[in-house]
Amino acid sequence: MTAAFQASLLALDEELGLGPLGGTVRRTHLAHGAWIDLRPGWLTGADTLFERLAERVPWRAERRRMYDKVVDVPRLLKFYDEGEPLPDPLLDDARRALDAHYGEELGEPFRTAGLCFYRDGRDSVTWHGDTIGRGSAEDTMVAIISVGSPRSLLLRPRGGGPSLRHDLGHGDLIVMGGSCQRTWEHAIPKTSRPSGPRISIQFRPHDVR
Ligand SMILES: O=C(O)CCC(=O)C(=O)O
Ligand SMILES: [Fe+2]
C-alpha cells in the first residue's frame, strides 16, 4: 500500500513540519451552535509522516456486530489513549500547537489520538457523531489531520438537511467545534473513484470519542 501511494507522489523533498495556525485558520459557523475550522496544508512534508505512520503504527482490523452479522470495520484503526506515547514526534508537536491555538477556547488540552487508515476508496466511516462520552452532552472539539490521498468529509445536521462536503487533502487540518458532535453528523463515504490510501489523525480531549 505504501508503494502504491509513493508511486503517485507529490514532492518528497519538503521537510516535515507544521505551518502557523493563527490567522491562517478559516472558521465557518454551522447551524445549532456548531462550527468547523479549516487550515489547508498545515503540514509540510506530509509524505514523510504518511510513510512513517503507515509503517510504524500497529494498525488493527476490527470486526463489529451489525444486526445478526459480524462484519469487518472498513478501515484500520489504532487508538492512543491518554498518556500513551504517540507514534511520531510530529504528532506531539501538532498536539502542542493545537493546544496553544485552541486551549483557551476549549478550556482543556487535547488528550487522545485516534488514527485511521483508509486503504482505498472502499474504506469509509458511516454517518456518526463522536458522542461516546462528553461529546453527547457538551460542546467540545475534535481536530483532524489528513495525510495521503484526499477524501471527502461530509457533514449533515442531525435533524436532516443538506450535507456539506469538504475535501481533505494531504496535510490539511479540520477542527469540528461547538455542538458539532451532538447536533451534526459526519462521514467519510466510500468512493468509486480511484483513491489511494489516507491516514486520519484525530485529537480529542478527555472523555470525548
Ligand atoms: O477519517 C476522518 O477524518 C474522520 C474519522 C472519524 O470521524 C472518526 O473516527 O470518528
Ligand atoms: Fe468521527
CATH number for the domain harbouring residue 138: 2.60.120.590
Does some domain include residue 17? no
Q: What is the CA radius of gyration of the chain?
A: 16
Does some domain include residue 21? no
Does some domain include residue 15? no
Strand partners, 173: 39, 145
Is 134 within 8 Å of 107 (Cβ atoms)?
no
Does some domain include residue 67? yes
In this structure, which amino acid lies at residue 45? Answer: G
The CB of 145 under 6 Å from ligand 1? The reply is no
From ligand 2's centre to the CA of 129, what distance in Å? 6
Is 52 within 8 Å of 88 (Cβ atoms)?
yes
**Counted domains in the chain:** 1
Tens of pLDDT, residues 13-46: 689 999 999 999 999 999 999 999 999 999 999 9
Does some domain include residue 20? no
Does some domain include residue 19? no
Q: pLDDT at residue 10 above 70? A: no
Residue 60 lies in domain: 2-6+26-204
Tens of pLDDT, residues 121-155: 999 999 999 999 999 999 999 999 999 999 999 99
93 burial level (CB within 10 Å; 0-12, 13-18, 19+): middle
The CB of 202 under 6 Å from ligand 1? The reply is yes
Does some domain include residue 139? yes
pTM for the predicted model, two decimal places: 0.94
Does some domain include residue 209? no
Is 47 within 8 Å of 2 (Cβ atoms)?
no
